[in-house]
């Protein structure tokens, strides 16, 4: 009886050891399989704004798990230096195919400086963000009030005059616009009050 019990204990330990080995092998195979699904994708080293021309200093390679929509992003083997940015890309964000173009004409945007009252734009607005710009009638205008109008939609903030933030009053920003929208924005800036609203996509 004692021998039988000893034999059972020995066999049980062997089965446990074998089971642990099999679990380890399965885990190793799973990890290897996941590693094979990772790809190298281009990402933005810092915020990219429309109209910018890419250089190697703007780019970094991120190793990511292959997503189902991986075709929407640019593989690190793609030569994208000297491409034009047509959509804002955040710092560290994977670069979508749709955010770049090789055509200078498609990327032709103008940097337009405007001054907006500090209460009429988000206090934490950052370069590279997308905003919508609205024209509001000025209350003391003698002529009939004009309706609130969206002047520009989804435009990118190219720069912010941080020095003006500490001076009070208006804050100077530069936005990138197509030629067709520049005149409308400047006219609205001269006649009405401008309000910048963060564009949450």
| Predicted confidence (pLDDT) per residue in 140-185, tens digit | 655 555 688 888 887 888 888 877 766 667 899 988 887 778 888 8
Same domain, 192 and 141: yes
In three-state secondary structure terms, 164 is: helix
The fraction of the chain above a pLDDT of 70, given in percent, is: 71
Same domain, 31 and 42: no
Same domain, 82 and 114: no
Same domain, 114 and 194: yes
Final residue of a domain: which of 81, 101, 121? 101
Confidence of residue 197 (pLDDT cuts 50, 70, 90): very high
Model pLDDT, residue 49: 79
Domain count, the chain: 3
The pTM assigned to this predicted structure is 0.52
Same domain, 182 and 136: yes
Same domain, 119 and 186: yes
What are the Cα distances from residue 120, in Å, to 77, 106, 199? 43, 31, 14
Is the Cβ–Cβ distance between 180 and 112 less than 8 Å?
A: no
- Looking from the CA of 13 toward its CB, the CA atoms found within 13 Å total 5
Q: How far is the C-alpha of 84 from the C-alpha of 66, rounded, in Å?
A: 26
Identify the domain containing residue 77 by its residue range.
38-101
Residue of 43 and 66 predicted with greater confidence: 43
Sign (positive or negative) of CA dihedral 55, 58, 62, 68: negative
pLDDT in tens, 79-111: 999 888 877 788 888 888 878 888 766 667 788
């Amino acid at each position: 009886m004692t021998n039988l019990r000893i034999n059972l204990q020995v066999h049980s330990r062997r089965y446990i050891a074998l089971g642990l080995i099999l679990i380890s092998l399965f885990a190793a195979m799973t990890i290897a399989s996941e590693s094979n699904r990772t790809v190298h994708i281009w990402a933005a080293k810092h915020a990219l704004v429309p109209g910018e021309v890419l250089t190697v200093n703007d780019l970094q390679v991120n190793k990511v798990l292959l997503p189902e929509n991986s075709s929407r992003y640019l593989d690190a083997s793609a030569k994208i230096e000297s491409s034009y940015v047509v959509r804002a890309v955040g710092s560290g964000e994977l670069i979508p195919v749709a955010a770049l173009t090789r055509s200078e004409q498609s990327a032709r945007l103008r940097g337009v400086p405007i001054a907006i009252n500090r209460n009429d734009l988000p206090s934490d607005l950052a370069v590279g963000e997308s905003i919508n710009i609205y024209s509001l009638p000025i209350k003391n205008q003698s002529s009939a009030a004009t309706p609130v109008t969206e002047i520009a939609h989804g435009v990118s903030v190219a720069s912010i005059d941080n020095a003006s933030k500490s001076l009070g009053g208006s804050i100077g920003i530069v936005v990138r616009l197509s030629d067709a929208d520049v005149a409308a924005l400047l006219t609205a800036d001269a006649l009405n009050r401008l309000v910048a609203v963060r564009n949450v996509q």
